[in-house]
């Protein structure tokens, strides 16, 4: 039985690289994106001999999420790995003292509520795998123990995503699905910018490790570089 993964926001950056690394390990990957042309180009770019397929998925639109899960279920009888990777960093130099409420909502809807919608739609397929794995791509900026005042809407939404991880880890424990948050470090992507110390390959590696090799009893954790880190 082939190993199957679904990745949100995989038309570029860490999501695209995670797809590349999983395909190299023999996975079939449903690469999802909210922009059809870019999504299809990303699939073509990996020239994966049919092991990558494009599915349209906008994480803030419930209909799109449900449709994507249906589309995947028509092509696969289970899913081993779901990577909730799609995310935005809209803060610029905004401050919590006067940040716009719309920005706060936008970050929350994409970075936290999006992962809830997608996990709700896909867990029944993950429950059919031997060990289903959900990886929520979080950030050190969402760590309450490290948090300062930078990037308020992003940081708050990633802290909320960590809570999403805890909720789903507990709710899905008896279904044999493990759920963890992963911090990729600061990575050179469109979001991370050119100054970031990590390559996209390095950023995706820890996520792919969680998707494939991390112990099957690790659930409800926040993980960076294969180590549990504080919330
Ligand atoms: P990126 O290059 O900007 O890619 C973000 C991806 O998310 C894109 O594919 C984007 O699609 C997609 N996306 C955004 N909103 C979406 C929506 N509503 N529906 C579906 N897809 C959506 O960023 P990245 O650096 O690869 O980031 C990937 C993940 O890692 C994010 O969750 C980010 O918060 C996290 N992270 C990144 C860093 C870093 O240093 N780069 C550090 C810590 C955590 P479009 O192309 O259509 O915009």
**Is any atom of ligand 1 closer than 6 Å to the C-beta of 19?**
no
Helix (H, G, I), strand (E, B) or coil at 53: strand
Work out which ligand 1 atom sits closest to the CA atom of 13.
26
pTM, whole model, 2 decimals? 0.98
Give the model confidence (pLDDT) of 142-179 as tens digits. Answer: 999 989 999 999 999 999 999 999 999 999 999 999 99
Query: How far is it, in rounded angstroms, from Cα 126 to Cα 4?
Result: 10
- Testing ligand 1's pocket by substitution, the residue of 67, 87, 142, 159 carrying the most ligand atoms inside 8 A of its CB is 87
Query: How far is it, in rounded angstroms, from Cα 157 to Cα 9?
Result: 17
Q: What's the gap in Å between 85 CA and the centre of ligand 1?
A: 6
**In the chain, what are the domains?**
4-228 (3.40.50.720)
Q: What's the gap in Å between 1 CA and the centre of ligand 1?
A: 30
Query: How far is it, in rounded angstroms, from Cα 191 to Cα 199?
Result: 13
Q: Find the largest Cα–Cα distance for the chain.
A: 53
Give the model confidence (pLDDT) of 111-149 as tens digits. Answer: 999 999 999 999 999 999 999 999 999 999 999 998 999
Low-confidence ranges of the chain (pLDDT < 50): none
Q: What's the gap in Å between 133 CA and the centre of ligand 1?
A: 20
């Amino acid at each position: 039985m082939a190993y199957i993964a679904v990745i949100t926001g995989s038309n570029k950056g860490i999501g695209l690289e995670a797809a590349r690394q999983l395909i190299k390990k023999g996975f079939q990957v449903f690469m999802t994106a909210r922009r059809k042309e870019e999504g299809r180009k990303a699939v073509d770019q990996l020239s994966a001999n049919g092991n990558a397929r494009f599915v349209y998925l906008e994480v803030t639109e419930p209909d799109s999420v449900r449709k994507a899960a249906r589309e995947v279920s028509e092509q696969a009888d289970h899913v081993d790995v779901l990577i909730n990777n799609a995310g935005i960093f809209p803060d610029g130099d905004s401050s919590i003292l006067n940040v716009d409420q719309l920005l706060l909502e936008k970050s929350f809807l994409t970075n936290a509520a999006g992962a809830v919608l997608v996990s709700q739609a896909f867990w029944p397929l993950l429950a059919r795998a031997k060990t289903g794995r959900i990886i929520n791509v979080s950030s050190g900026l969402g760590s309450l123990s490290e948090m300062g005042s930078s990037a308020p809407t992003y940081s708050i939404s990633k802290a909320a995503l960590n809570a999403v991880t805890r909720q789903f880890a507990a709710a899905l424990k008896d279904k044999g699905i493990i759920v963890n948050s992963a911090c990729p470090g600061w990575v050179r992507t469109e979001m991370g910018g050119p100054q970031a110390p990590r390559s996209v390959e390095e950023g995706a590696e820890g996520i792919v490790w969680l998707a494939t090799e991390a112990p099957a009893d690790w659930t409800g954790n926040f993980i960076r570089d294969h180590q549990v880190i504080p919330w």
